Each structure stands twice: as structure tokens, then as C-alpha cells.
Amino acid sequence: MPVYVAAKHGVVGPVPSYGKFLPEEGITMNAICPNIIRTNIAPNLFFDKVEARGHLTPMSGVLKAFTAMLEPSNISGEIFEIGPNGGYVRRDDPSTWTLKASKESMRSPRRISAVAQKSRYPDLSAKMHASILVTSLLTGFAVSANAIATISVKGAKFFTSDGDQFYVKGVAYQLVPDDPLINATQCKLDADLMEDLGANSIRVYHVDPTEDHKDCMDTFADKGIYLWLDLDTFTTQIEQSSPTWNETQRSAFEKVMDEFQQYDNTAGFFVGNEVLTTGNGSVAAPYVKEAARDLKAYRDQKNYRDIPVGYSAADIASLRPMLQNYLACSSNASENIDFYALNAYEWCGDSSYTTSGYSELQKNASTYNIPIFFSETGCNTVQPRTFGDQSAIFGDKMADTWSGSIIYEWIEEANNYGIVSYGAKVDATASGAPPDGYPRSGTPTPVSPDFSNLKSQWATLTPTGVKKSAYSPSLTAPACPELTEGVWEVNGNVALPTLGQKFDSSVRSSITAGATGASGVAASASASATKSGAASPAKEVKGMGVGLAGVLAGAVYWL
């Protein structure tokens, strides 16, 4: 089994001094590494071939030091990362060393781990865990043994970096309108209960990229919880009534990506949420696609991890399956979204796979070439909620096609969708009260029996899927839908709009190649359009009165 060795890393224990690598055998790098290695594996172990403290250390000396501690068969695991100013040092056999440049931008903290299966020292345990401590003076990031695997896309499925298929079991999490990921104490309280629920994901709709999210993201990572994050803000989202994609929007989206790409438990980004809700509104689809293309290009240009970029759609029957097909139909994969998600509320109470329309959703998705999952679900028109749709989503009928679901929502507020509360509703006019009267911080208390109903569902639904190594994608891109007046106003795979281009409904547009702005039959909105609360998209603020608009106006007084 190969040994992977990292500069700047010492096995757990103090690393008292540092030096620079010298180029050797054509390998050059800008990184620091320990001169003297003292560890709890072999205390006070020094190496003659490693140069004196503070001097330049030949690469061969460092490699010899690591090799002396652990034989080639002793290490299993992934490559140990060096950092943004270095690369990977990889040992394939006792005589061959190669350097691979790092693709990721690693900021504090990075987490990696390894297992020592055997030690050459007879007084040590035959099997032990060794965490790798990064002690870089240049980058200053620390490492823990509690790593969380990253999420990526292969074909129509999500996989962890461990090679397992990933199914989303999530909750919509937006305690406050602007950013729920900056209160470390609150994140800890909520993450503990989410772990008990069986959740592995949260969806957050709005954040402030200028804030520090490290503590909250670490807290969720420690509980095995991933983040699915909307990139837009209340002022930068794409609007179906007058769609545009401009520099201001793109820059704002990029800032959110910049902040959250550093965290291994960032699972995916949304470039839009329910932008299209009518047939005539489909003229906004090319703008959504252009936003995805630009953000994917930015991700790659910045050398970030390949965090999937997708879209969250309202489940509008008249837009099926045109929208999902359009967003994935380009022959150039760089123009397609990486995943498609659906906000669907049709399965209510004791509904069924057929009655709810889930059978049609499955039919439309059965040959879809990218991952698809429910980014919102959890109808509340029948109480209590039993979440019966979860058995279909994670069961034999859909699990081979769908990648899980996110329940709307975590916090109980006026819309009555919450599965936890933070106390009884109070008089909103009282001093210091939240604008809508619903407490939004403190110890979360499960809403009974909804919380336990969902917990019971998830506990019995554990699809294993397929190993990444055994999966060979065979599905191809769908055909791009043709224009149908008033139903789907985009004609095939037309050229995407340019940055700053606005849609003009008064003239025939090259963006839609046929859209004239004539009125058509507007599709009825899904139940998701009736939601209100801190997790709702900004377009739902219109006509909301004291709802989210009030929360926004008064947030400063009670956060």
C-alpha cells in the first residue's frame, strides 16, 4: 500500500523547528517542514540525516525521517495536503517520489487523517490512529483527526471522497434572514439535535460572505452535516419578470463562493431558487444557465474544489420536464448545471406514490443525466406531518434515481412548517421581541410529533447506493426543449445571454429565439410559493406584510 507523506506535517506531537525544502530530483516547492521530528510514536527520536535545527533540510532527509518512523505498509488513507503554498509529496514505493500540485485552496482549518496499521517499533500497538498535525508558520492552519469527506458529482449521482454514494437527508435552516451561520453557540445547539434527527445536510438561503463562518461550519462538520447554499442575496437574485445577469450579481455570487469553498462540508451551491414559476417566466431560464456557467468557470479559474453548482426549482407541472431538461441539455457540459433540485409539496398526509404525482416526477427523472433531489419537501396541509414521501424517495421506487431530500423547515414560525421551536410565541410588540413573535435562538425543542415522525422515517431508510468505483455513467444529456408559446419560451439550445444583457419582451430575442412577450397561460404555483418566513426567497416578500419583510426591518433590534 502506498505511503503518502506531507511536508509541514508531523505525526502527533511537538515539532520544534522548521526548515525549507531544497529542490531535489527536479522537484521544487515553496513549503516548510520539520527539521527535527519528535513524536508520541517514538518519543525523542532524532535522525542523523536530518540537518541541524534552523538549517535547510534536504528533501531526501525529510523523506528518510518519515520512512524511518513508518514502514511503507503502515499508512492507509488519502494524500496528506500541504497547503496553498505547496503540493503533495507522494511515496509509491521505497525509491519513487513524485510531487503533485494541489488543486484546492486550503484555509484554516484543514482536516485529514490516516491509520497506522503496524509499527516497526515492537513496544507499540499493532494498530493505532495517527492524526496529522499541520504546524506551518506560513499558513497557520491546524488539523483534526475528525475529517469529513467532500462531495462531488459523477454522472447522475453524488459521491463522497471515500467513494460512497451520498443521499441528502437535510433540513432548511434559516433562523434569521441574513445569516444563520455566524452564531457559534446556536449552531452547536442545533447541530446536536440535527445529529439526533439523523440529518446529514442543511440548506441555507442567505448568508453574509463578509462574516466569519468557521466555527459554525466546523460544528456542523463535526456532526457529519453538509451545507447546500444559495449564492444569491435578496438584492441579487435573478427575477423572471425582468431577467438579467450582470457584473454586480456575478460579483456577489463569487464572494459567497469565495467564503464557503474553503470548507470540506460545503456540498453544493444553488444559483437560483424558484426563479421560474410560469410559462412566460421561462425566458429567465437562459439567465439561470448563464449564472451557473459563470460560477463554474470562476470555481475552476480559482482552482477551487469541484463543488457542484445547481438550481432549485419550484415544482410547476406545466414546466415539467422542460426546465430540468433545458438546464442539462447542452452538449458543452460547462454550460449545464451540475445538479437539479426540486421544491415539491404534493405528497400530503396519507397520499401515495401515484396520487401525489411522485410517479410522474420519477418518470421524468429516470433518464436524467445529472443528480436530482428534493431541495424542499414536507407538505403541512394535513397535520401532524408524517413525511410519508420519504419512504418513496429513499426506497426502491426512487432511490436509484433521486439523491434524497431536504425538509422544509427547521424553525417553527408563522408558516407552521417547523420541526423545532425556540419557545412559545410572544407578543411581537413587546420590548425586545422578534418582529413576528417567534423566538429564533436558544435551546431547540422538537415539535411533536413531527420531529419524531421524521426521525423515525429516516432511521429506517438507509439506501447504500453504489460505490463510485463500480459506477459507470451511461445516461446522456436530454434534448433541449423546443419553444411552445406561453408554455416554454426558449427555443432549443439558443446562445446564452452575455454579461449585462437584459431581456426585452417587446422584441424577438436572440436569447429565446422566438419569445415575443405575448401573454400565455400562467401555470399555478406549487405549494412552495405559499411559504413565508426567514427561509423564503425574496420574491415571496411581496404582499407578505408583517412576515419576512417585518423580520428584515426589525432584525437589528433582537439579533
Cβ count near 202 (within 10 Å): 27
- What's the chain's length in residues? 559
Write down the catalytic residue from 259, 274, 409, 413: 274
559 found inside a domain: no
Same domain, 243 and 382: yes
108 found inside a domain: yes
Same domain, 324 and 449: yes
Residue 234 pLDDT level (bands cut at 50, 70, 90): confident
Same domain, 384 and 467: yes
Q: What percent of the chain has pLDDT over 90?
A: 62
Tell me what the mean pLDDT of segment 18-32 comes to.
Answer: 31
Annotated catalytic residue 482: no
- What is the pLDDT at residue 382? 97
30 found inside a domain: yes
Residue 520 pLDDT level (bands cut at 50, 70, 90): very low
- What is the pLDDT at residue 504? 80
Tell me what the mean pLDDT of segment 94-116 comes to.
Answer: 32
Annotated catalytic residue 412: no
513 found inside a domain: no
d(CA 102, CA 90): 12
- Higher-pLDDT residue of 101 and 495 is 495
For residues 368 and 156, the answer to whether their CB atoms sit within 8 Å is yes
CATH number of the structural domain spanning residue 370: 3.20.20.80
Residue 35 pLDDT level (bands cut at 50, 70, 90): very low
93 found inside a domain: yes
- What is the pLDDT at residue 291? 98
Same domain, 118 and 191: no
375 found inside a domain: yes
Write down the catalytic residue from 290, 346, 376, 413: 376
Q: Where does a domain end: 99, 134, 169?
A: 134
Compute the CA torsion angle 223, 226, 231, 235 (nearest 10 deg). -40
51-55, 84-88, 214-218, 437-441: segment of lowest average pLDDT: 84-88
Same domain, 203 and 127: no
- What is the pLDDT at residue 119? 29
| pLDDT per position as a tens digit, 342-398 | 999 999 999 999 999 999 999 999 999 999 999 999 999 999 999 999 999 999 999
Residue 147 pLDDT level (bands cut at 50, 70, 90): confident
Contacts of 437 by beta carbon, 8 Å cutoff, 6+ apart: 425, 426, 427, 428
Same domain, 279 and 339: yes
Tell me what the mean pLDDT of segment 16-35 comes to.
Answer: 31
Same domain, 421 and 548: yes
Place of cell 445529472: 370
226 found inside a domain: yes
Identity of residue 335: E
Q: Where does a domain end: 134, 168, 191?
A: 134
Q: What percent of the chain has pLDDT over 70?
A: 64
Same domain, 58 and 179: no
266 found inside a domain: yes
**Residue 180 in this model has a pLDDT that exceeds 60:** yes
Same domain, 191 and 330: yes
Alpha carbon 542 to its chain's center? 29
Same domain, 536 and 402: yes
d(CA 178, CA 546): 17
For residues 418 and 409, the answer to whether their CB atoms sit within 8 Å is yes
Query: What cell does 228 get?
Result: 447546500
**Residue 493 in this model has a pLDDT that exceeds 70:** yes
Same domain, 127 and 247: no
**Residue 269 in this model has a pLDDT that exceeds 60:** yes
Same domain, 337 and 209: yes
Look up the domain containing 18 and give its range. 3-134
Look at the chain and report how many structural domains it folds into. 2
